[in-house]
Amino acid sequence: GVRVPSPPPPPTTNVESPRVKPETEAPDATDTKDEESDNLEAEPMDLEPERRPALLIRDPAGVLKRRRLEDYEDECYTRDEPSLNLVNESRDAISKRCIALSNILRGLTFVPGNEIEFSRSSAFLALAGKLLLLHHEHAPRAARARAYERAAKDESDADACCSSLRGESEWWWDTLAQLREDALVCCANIAGGVELGGQPEAVARPLLDGLLHW
């Protein structure tokens, strides 16, 4: 018999087999620890007692100290009126210049709309707070003095009986009283626009202390 040739095999097409994705390995515990140790974010930490910064408050004027009224005399210190005018020309010129500037600022606070500008000025508020209690002092309330202490005090008072002739040391007294009055008037005129919440403590506290005192 005659053999019939077998048909050629069909051409093979290159069919890519689907690739199997490698399984992701579970994160090792050591890797997570390394990642946590490499975290550079700032974390709150307690300072050691010897390295804790000390709180330093500088208040040479004693403004930040709370005063108890029962520890001080009711009447404030007032100078003895001098018998003679011993103020020289240069000091008198300084006094007149200060009063002139104070009158200008006082007059400007009466103008409508200026209270907003003055209430925002930290320099003006600090100046007003400084003037309200400048050289205004109440003597500490003294306990009952003994007999010999009273005698020594009487002798010192006798030595100071001529203090009215020594008015040079407090030549600014009358001028300061006028400046304090002008500061109170200015504070009253701008009171509606003042917001001390945005002012530093060095500005707000003396101003509040002076206003509450008067």
How many angstroms separate the Cα of 52 from the Cα of each of 42, 43, 47, 49? 18, 17, 6, 5
Taken in order 31, 34, 40, 42, the sign of the CA dihedral is positive
Dmax (CA) of the chain: 165
72-112 pLDDT tens trace: 565 666 666 666 667 788 888 999 999 999 999 999 999 99
Taken in order 184, 186, 192, 198, the sign of the CA dihedral is negative
Ordered by start, the domain boundaries in the chain are 93-141+169-214
Which positions ≥6 away from 59 have C-beta within 8 Å? Answer: 65
Closest listed residue to residue 121, CA positions, set 208, 190, 209: 190
202-213 pLDDT tens trace: 898 889 888 888
Structure pTM? 0.55
pLDDT classification of 49: cutoffs 50, 70, 90: very low
3-state secondary structure 88-141: CHHHHHHHHHHHHHHHHHHHHHCCCCHHHHHHHCHHHHHHHHHHHCCCCCEEEC
Structure tokens at 122: 């930290």
Between 66 and 175, the higher pLDDT residue: 175
